[in-house]
Chain A
Amino acid sequence: MVAVVSIVLLLLRAMPVEGYFNDFDKVSQTQIDVKLTQLGLKDPAPVQIVRYFGRLVKGDLGVSSRYRAGYPITRILAAKAPVSIRLGCAALLISLLLGFALGIRMARSSQTKHALFDRLGILFVVAVQTVPAAVYHILIQLYGTEIFGFPMLFDRRNWTSWILPVFSLSLGNISFYAIWLRRYMRDESNKDYVRLARAKGLPENRVWRGHILRNAVVPLVQYIPEAVLTTVMGALYVESLYSVPGMGGLLVQAIRIQDNTLVQALVVLFTMISMAGMLLGDLLLAFVDPRIAFESRRGGRR
């Protein structure tokens, strides 16, 4: 994690110099040099990186240089983060619920004669997976506001304005969960223990819920970190599209107005969030599936 953040910081040293100034056109070359030296940007790269980590540990992300010049970035984020977190969690929850519901229905339908629901579901999944997210978010905004009359822009107090952004954010993960759950449930449904359960005369509903679903869910856990990642990255686009006052929209805005320190803070933050998500997912998988151990076993072929 430290290595990746260091690389990110190293890359960020190449940011356009204009981004540190509010009035770049008016200042002279000497003033630029003085300011850059003040900010410590003329020091060798390793020194800068070590210093950045030192501040990071203390929870200091520096001050914004353009968005609100001189204002601490942590305070800007403190106001924005709760909205983003709430939005993201809502999207994750909804995608989990709807994705599971869809996956179960598809798996069950695939065992019937015409498998109509299964085919419709696959059509939906293929559509969501193939059409770029950047495109369907716009279409959802356009037709969602027009047909259902939901507000186009986000307003924290108006709950109907939450529906479209949350739905947009969860759509990708709904299809993702649905298709994998269907796959795993179908694989499970041909196994011997399921046949035994059926032969025992258990009602079909209990076989699906008690036997197949439980076993099919385990491998699905490995996709949760990826879903978190999709949501975080999707938030960049969706938040800015609906003018949500959150961190994703903030990054887009910071890039547009070229606020280097703010971009740096947000990129580092997003990198850390996604890496933490990955790590958490691995731990979760080990927790759910006892077959995975962190100590390496002997006997494997290398």
Chain B
Amino acid sequence: MRKSNLPEKKSYWGMILKEFLTNRSAVFFLCVMTALVLFVFLQPYLPGQRSPVMIYNDPATGIQFRNRTPDAEFWLGTNSIGQDLWARTWAGARTSLLIGFVTAGIEILLGTAAGLIWGYWKRFDLVFTEIHNLFSNVPRTLVLILLSYIRKPGAGTIILALSLTGWLGTARLVRNMVVILRDREYNIASRVLGSSAARIMVRNLLPYLTGICAMRAAFAIPAAIGNEVFVTYIGIGLPADMPSLGNLIQAGRLVMSEPALRYQLLLPVGIVSLITVSMYVIGNAFADASDPRRSV
């Protein structure tokens, strides 16, 4: 096995890309996600968009547009206090996606760093194992509830609570992988040739870890979005004036018994499901593709 001490970094990533592209459904969902993310973040800058938090009044009567059904004026109608649902839906998706991305990012960075230290130096093994055993037994939902209860509700709290527990799982997977690879011949050779620990970690071990990282990230994003929906339901999630998919679902739940207004629930539900299913398929495909054992 030739490995990455030779300058072949580009071709390695090229191989991942090639593997990935052979998976049709993953490519399809990647396109869907890219389009969705692009649209969600560009939408406020398109012409003719309304503010997601503005309450619209009927100019004739001066009363709010309550639960107006979709028409040319309000493309997706209005909610119970007269806010434009088209704008709210995309603003909500934006908030939820941001929470998801930030959480996944923190989880991967922290988890990989901790996992590398945990696995690479034997003297840290016991400490980290104890920490892991202690905290992995506390259910994530409880941590989330606890932190949301004692801290100010908001995106920061949710991100903190989720990454506080999420990095443990990543760290353990990374650690297991590092322990397996640490004393392989190519690493011993590398060490004998005088590579520093940092270099071995980054050049020799990290390529093997991309699969794990991609998989964890792909699962962390839907988990973050789902948990946001959950804490918002309890009433300790995001404040009601901040549109998020959780808030939209909660608002839609309250009017779901009226068939004409049910789309207010089904729409955010559909978007949440689209995001989570896409991330799952993409993550799995990427994990398969980036397995370096295939690239030999």
Q: How far is the CA of A182 from the CA of B134 in the complex (A)?
A: 31
Quote the shortest CB–CB distance from A225 to chain B (angstroms): 10
A135 CB contact (under 8 Å) in B122, B135, B249: B249
Q: With A142-B265, A271-B142 as given contacts, are A256 and B134 in contact (CB-CB < 8 Å)?
A: no
Q: How far is the CA of A270 from the CA of B146 in the complex (A)?
A: 12
Q: Is A237 interfacial (CB-CB < 8 Å)?
A: yes
Interface residues of B (CB under 8 A from A): 122, 125, 134-135, 137-142, 145-147, 149-151, 222-223, 225-227, 229-230, 233-236, 246, 249, 253, 256, 262, 265, 269, 272-273, 276-277, 279-280
Q: How far is the CA of A3 from the CA of B233 in the complex (A)?
A: 30
Interface residues of A (CB under 8 A from B): 3-4, 8, 11-12, 14-16, 126-127, 129-135, 138-139, 142, 229, 232-233, 236-237, 240, 251-252, 255-256, 263, 267, 270-271, 274-275, 278, 302
Tell me if A16 and B226 are in contact (CB < 8 A): no
Tell me if A135 and B234 are in contact (CB < 8 A): no
Q: With A138-B253, A236-B141 as given contacts, are A131 and B122 in contact (CB-CB < 8 Å)?
A: no
B146 CB contact (under 8 Å) in A11, A142, A229: A11
B139 CB contact (under 8 Å) in A11, A131, A138, A274: A274
What chain B residues lie within 8 Å of A126 (beta carbons)?
277, 280
What's the A-B contact tally at a CB cutoff of 8 Å? 105
What chain B residues lie within 8 Å of A142 (beta carbons)?
256, 262, 265
Tell me if A135 and B145 are in contact (CB < 8 A): no
What chain B residues lie within 8 Å of A275 (beta carbons)?
137-138
Q: Is the interface of A mostly helix, strand, loop or mixed?
A: helix
Q: How far is the CA of A8 from the CA of B223 in the complex (A)?
A: 23
Tell me if B139 and A267 are in contact (CB < 8 A): no
What chain B residues lie within 8 Å of A263 (beta carbons)?
149
What chain B residues lie within 8 Å of A16 (beta carbons)?
150
Quote the shortest CB–CB distance from A76 to chain B (angstroms): 19
Q: With A15-B150, A229-B139, A263-B149 as given contacts, are A138 and B272 in contact (CB-CB < 8 Å)?
A: no
Tell me if B280 and A4 are in contact (CB < 8 A): no
What chain B residues lie within 8 Å of A131 (beta carbons)?
272-273, 276-277
What chain A residues lie within 8 Å of B230 (beta carbons)?
132-134, 237
Tell me if A130 and B235 are in contact (CB < 8 A): no
Q: With A232-B139, A237-B233, A267-B142 as given contacts, are A138 and B265 in contact (CB-CB < 8 Å)?
A: yes
